[in-house]
Structure 1
Amino acid sequence: MDIHGSCSTQFSAVREAFADSLRSGRELGASVAVFLDGELVVDLWGGHADQARTRPWQRDTLTNVWSTTKTMTALCALVLTDRGELDLTAPVARYWPEFGSAGKERVEVGHLLSHTAGLPDWDQPMTLDDLCDWEKATTLLARQTPRWEPGTSSGYHRFTHGFLIGEVIRRICRQSIGAFFADQIADPLGADFHIGLPAEHDHRVSDVIPAPGPAPAPNPQPAIPVGAYVTAQDTWTTQWRRAEIPAAAGYGNARSVAAVQSVLTSAGRAPSARLLSESACRAVFDEQSHGVDLVLGIPLRFGMGYALTAERAPVDTANRRTCYWGGRGGSLIVNDLDAHMTFAYVMNQMSHQGLADPRSRALLQATYKALTT
């Protein structure tokens, strides 16, 4: 299986791990990227962009990265915080008055970012049409009562996360989150990542492929179940691609994911722009919760917009200033501020292992091995 792209000699172990994953058949098509001190040192891709294996995965292939999109949404909020337009400790109702009802008067912006707001789901079933209706999705959330005391525990806000933060951003900027991300983050960085995919990019998309077999039952059962709403096949539709669903419908590849997120590991600097101050980067590590997540049923430690490394957590590194998240099916982004390193992995063949996916783990381990040799 041919691998394309570039990889510095120091990171040859990443190339080897990537080649092994493609040869073994665990991958269909994928990309991996690493930034070190703001420089792209690994930029690899390979495999196929379709299940029939008729289209090669190209340098500019895009795919839906599911919840890795949440880190882009979080970065939008951090940029506004750094500009003094958003206070993470302020009540959400300061920016979104209708939200301050039904027991949510004291819900803070930081609670939205850390999945501790008590709004992990809608109180009524939601269809794909509903998720693509911004006004309906946000209006319903503004009327709801939290399912637990906000700020006391995390309960993964699988789809609601992006609507909640996105509406706060819209109220401040009078821009949709997709437009804000494009204008204020992606364009200045020259990053090929999209929240709401323009039609001119459709020909570059590799549709995600459903994980084989039924998903295993969670063990232990989560305290609060949340609706899934969307299948892999739903993401193949034009409706999904065009909609701005900022918790799950971002399109990019490893290079573009890492290019955006490396703003955190290069002290807010990028080759063409400075987006964040060092203090804004540090704000990510303001711990908001630490314990078993009420929705996912696994130990997680959340900061502002990202999970933080911790013992028994899905990503646990020796460097304490490490933040991460991943997407349904296996995509992963890791920012290690101590090592000044950003790692990203994006693929089209989904698995059921999520943050524990052995493909991303092997690549991340190879990356850390390279950093210590």
Structure 2
Amino acid sequence: MEGLIAPGFEAVATAFATDPRGGSALTVLRHGEPVVEIYEGWRDVARTQPWTTDTLVDVYSTGKPVIAAAVLLLGIDLDKPMSAYWPSFQGSVSVRQVLCHTAGLASFPVPRPVSAWADWDLLCADLAAATPLWEPGSVAGEHALTYGHLLGELVRRVDGRSPAQFVREEIGPDLLYALTAEELGRCAELQYSTPAWPTETLARSTMVANPPGAFDVAVVNSPLWRQATIPAVNLHTTATAVARFYAGPSAAALPVAQYTGPDKFIGAEVTWGYGVQLEPDGTWGHGGTGGSAGWSDPSRDLTIGYVTRRLGDFAAVDRVEEALRNL
């Protein structure tokens, strides 16, 4: 383990180091300044390339709040239908319902091959023609794969810039989709924690099976995936960039409760804000399949980013959270 540990935060570093993931990083900001900025392991499966402060890793749904923040920055009327900004959009769905996962468009409706991940227009057209799976606004169901296309196309149509360009220019550095050739060289290789991990993940819901490949390391470690724009699940970033996002102005409007109740995808009761989950203890944020997470702890003026290349559980995040609570 290497990096910065401010006095008083040693227990947080110990929690991070308890179970090394072979490539992970943790940043904690207090009042916007780093008090923990540590990392361990390697970028690659062969363990020949050490993890560095600028290593990028796909954080899956940890990136969802970033594209939600992009939509809020547009300043549009959230209660207008999607079709007000996207004329070909057929579903009677409001922008607000998309932002809080109650739109009923939680899966891509047309079976597509792996190559479709690189075809933004195709997948957006499929969603524009789709019929909601449930009455919009009636219940939540995390839009695990579709969230980023629904909101990203809104950004493109209102602003004119691609979602990847908009996020780079308006929200912050190292919050990346559509990686450049140079950025590809900074990427960590994702690796299963156990051979059963991809099967167990896909078994959670049919909503994440189409297009295939979202949980296949042969796909997600490929240039096809890394150079595509899939804002729901392929933000490539660093722990420090995640923590700084939560400390920055673009995230400030996210934690406004929009829905409390059951979530059809998560399988539990949640409170959704705009792209973030609000917890009873006042913290708010979002985790990503595989174990990465970002969140804010307003009572302590802390923001936290944890990223890992080992696709597993949230045990490391849980340990870090407990250590922070006990400070």
Residue 227 of structure 1 is matched in structure 2 by 208
Match of 2:113 in 1: 127
Q: What is the letter of the counterpart of residue 48 of structure 1?
A: W
1:43 maps to 2:4: no
**Residue in 1 that maps onto 2:222:** 237
Separation in 2 of the partners of 1:91 and 1:286? 20
1:337 to 282, 287, 298: 298
Q: Which position in structure 2 is the counterpart of 1:118?
A: 104
Choose the corresponding residue for 1:89, options 43, 57, 79: 79
* Matched AA of 1:200: E
Task: Show the counterpart of 2:272.
Answer: 302
1:261 positional shift: 2.0
Indicate which of 358, 364, 373 corresponds to 2:315: 358
Native 8 Å contact 1:28 1:48 kept in 2: yes
CA distance in 2, matches of 1:214, 1:289: 34
Q: 1:71 to 1:90 in 2, by over 3 A?
A: same
**The 10-residue stretch of structure 1 (226-235 or 61-70) with the greater mean CA deviation from structure 2:** 226-235
Residue 248 of structure 1 corresponds to: 233
**Amino acid aligned to 1:234:** V
**1:209 corresponds to 2:191:** yes
- Counterparts of residues 53-92 of structure 1 (less than 5 Å): 53-81=47-75, 86-92=76-82
SS where residue 311 of structure 2 aligns? coil
Helix, strand or coil for the counterpart of 1:139? helix
SS at match of 2:136: coil
Structure 1 position 196, deviation (Å):
1.5
Runs of 5+ unmatched residues, structure 2: none
Query: Do the aligned residues in 2 keep the contact of 1:152 with 1:289 (CA within 8 Å)?
Result: no
- What value does the CA root-mean-square deviation take over the aligned residues? 1.8
Q: Provide the C-alpha distance between the structure 2 equivalents of 1:325 and 1:173, rounded to a whole number of angstroms.
A: 26
Q: Show structure 1 runs of 5+ residues with no match.
A: 269-274, 311-317
Q: What TM-score do the two structures reach when normalised by structure 2?
A: 0.93
| Contact preservation (8 Å) 1:225, 1:295 | no
**Matching residue's letter, 1:227:** V
TM-score of the superposed pair, with normalisation by structure 1:
0.82
Q: Deviations over 1:134-172 (max 9, x none)?
A: 111011111111111111111111111000000111111
User: How far apart, in 1, do the equivalents of 2:300 and 2:83 lie?
Assistant: 38
Matched AA of 1:115: H
Structure 2 SS opposite 1:204: coil
What residue in structure 2 maps to residue 346 of structure 1?
307
